[in-house]
């Protein structure tokens, strides 16, 4: 694939209204907590530094002046005082020595900006995007970035329904890839065409060429694998959304629809890419998140808070054993700083 289009918004497609409505609900809870959250300890002597390895980076959603700001805690002591940086985001992801921040901006229509930041959270570049921030991801070396937003008004959407737009940005070349909606897609062995094709939730392999994502068409969702250079994609299996590739590249965590109850439809699973065997994880609550890997054995994810309060970040073993454990209260959008 040739990267030609500089700094343009790409990817369109339809998603269910209930999914987008859930995003509105979660954002409303985060921005207007139903009750005052309990005090959290803040380390005012230091700020966030993405070059420091072994830290959990997240969006602070405790009530008060630091609400929405990027924060971090040691992975070895996640319940300790959190450092808070100056940058406010709706979604954030850290990798290598930088980060990706999605932040809403005032506008007659829902709009946002995708900011590439350095280790001190200082802006390096930005892309104006339409819609409500939903997913943000970087490759392990920080070169490739991807984001997804919910939007309204695409021509093929039902009245009042939502669509998504997702972009893939090569930050080294400062270029966006071609519109993934037009990527040649094989569903099974057949070339697929359809106006309702929709992609979201990108995750990158270490080669920065291979990526995985969700594709939805004909009322079904699939896990797909794409190739940035050959510009082609094919589906791997049905009923797999928001994939996240393990650091060693051997496994994919994904959410699977296991119930018709729209209030709690998902359960997190892990797919072994060599055997294509899937394992349900011990977390039985409905996880509507693109999880992150703390290491090759553990995933972390956000869950809504109870009684309308702020959400929390939890962790669970990736092999189906153990039990979920609370990592950081009043936090969302986790990622991890690692040694280069």
CA distance 54 to 75: 6
Q: Decide if 23 contacts 134 (C-beta within 8 A).
A: yes
pTM above 0.75, yes or no: yes
Which tokens go with 293? 């890997």
Cβ-Cβ contacts under 8 Å for 230 (sequence gap 6 or more): 1
CA distance 111 to 93: 19
The domain locations on the chain are 13-336
CA distances for 215 relative to 206, 222, 243, angstroms: 21, 5, 11
What is the phi/psi pair of residue 54, to 5°? 75, 30
CA distance 180 to 199: 8
pLDDT score of 299 more than 80 = yes
CA distance 25 to 330: 16
Q: What is the pLDDT of residue 73?
A: 98
Superfamily of domain 13-336: TolB, C-terminal domain (2.120.10.30)
pLDDT tens for residues 143-195?
999 999 988 755 434 444 458 888 999 988 877 764 678 889 999 889 998 88
> Which of 57-66, 162-171, 202-211 has the least mean pLDDT?
162-171
Which tokens go with 143? 């070169």
Cβ-Cβ contacts under 8 Å for 212 (sequence gap 6 or more): 202, 203, 205, 223, 224, 225, 226, 243, 245, 252
pLDDT, mean of residues 236-248: 97
Q: What is the pLDDT of residue 114?
A: 95
CA distance 16 to 213: 17
Q: DSSP labels for 223-270?
A: EEEEETTTTEEEEEEES-EEEEE-TTSSEEEEEEE--S-TTS-EEEEE
pLDDT tens for residues 252-285?
999 999 999 998 999 999 999 999 999 999 999 9
Q: What is the pLDDT of residue 12?
A: 34
Where would I find the beta strands (DSSP E) of 153-245?
162-170, 175-176, 185-187, 190-192, 198-204, 210-217, 220-227, 232-238, 241-245
pLDDT tens for residues 86-115?
999 999 999 998 999 999 999 898 999 999
Question: Cα 3 to chain center, whole Å?
Answer: 23
CA distance 33 to 323: 28
Question: Cα 307 to chain center, whole Å?
Answer: 24
Which tokens go with 75? 């992975």
The length of the chain is: 340
Q: What is the largest CA-CA distance in the chain?
A: 58
């Amino acid at each position: 694939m040739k990267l030609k289009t500089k700094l343009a918004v790409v990817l369109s497609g339809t998603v269910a209204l209930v999914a987008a409505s859930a995003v509105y609900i979660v954002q409303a809870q985060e921005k207007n907590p139903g009750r005052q959250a309990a005090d959290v300890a803040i380390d005012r002597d230091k700020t966030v530094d993405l070059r420091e390895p072994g830290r959990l980076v997240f969006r602070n959603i405790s009530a008060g002046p630091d609400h929405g700001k990027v924060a971090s805690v040691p992975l070895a002591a996640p319940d300790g005082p959190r450092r808070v940086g100056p940058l406010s985001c709706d979604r954030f992801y850290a990798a290598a020595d930088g980060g990706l921040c999605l932040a809403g901006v005032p506008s007659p229509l829902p709009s946002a900006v995708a900011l590439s930041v350095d280790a001190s959270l200082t802006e390096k570049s930005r892309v104006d995007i339409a819609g409500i921030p939903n997913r943000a991801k970087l490759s392990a070396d920080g070169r490739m970035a991807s984001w997804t937003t919910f939007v309204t008004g695409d021509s093929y959407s039902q009245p009042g329904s939502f669509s998504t737009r997702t972009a893939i940005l090569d930050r080294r070349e400062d270029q966006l890839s071609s519109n993934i909606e037009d990527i040649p897609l094989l569903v099974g062995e057949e070339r697929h065409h359809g106006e309702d094709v929709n992609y979201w939730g990108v995750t990158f392999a270490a080669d920065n060429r291979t990526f995985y994502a969700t594709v939805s068409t004909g009322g079904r969702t699939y896990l797909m694998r794409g190739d940035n250079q050959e510009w082609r994609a094919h589906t791997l299996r049905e009923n797999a959304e928001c994939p996240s590739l393990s650091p060693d590249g051997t496994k994919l965590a994904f959410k699977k629809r296991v119930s018709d109850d729209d209030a709690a439809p998902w359960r997190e699973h892990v797919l072994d890419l060599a055997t294509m065997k899937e394992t349900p994880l011990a977390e039985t609550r409905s996880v509507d998140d693109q999880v992150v890997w703390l290491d090759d054995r553990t995933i972390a994810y956000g869950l809504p808070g109870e009684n309308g309060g702020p959400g929390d970040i939890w962790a669970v073993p990736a092999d189906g054993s153990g039990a979920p454990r609370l990592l950081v209260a009043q936090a969302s959008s986790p990622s991890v700083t690692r040694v280069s």
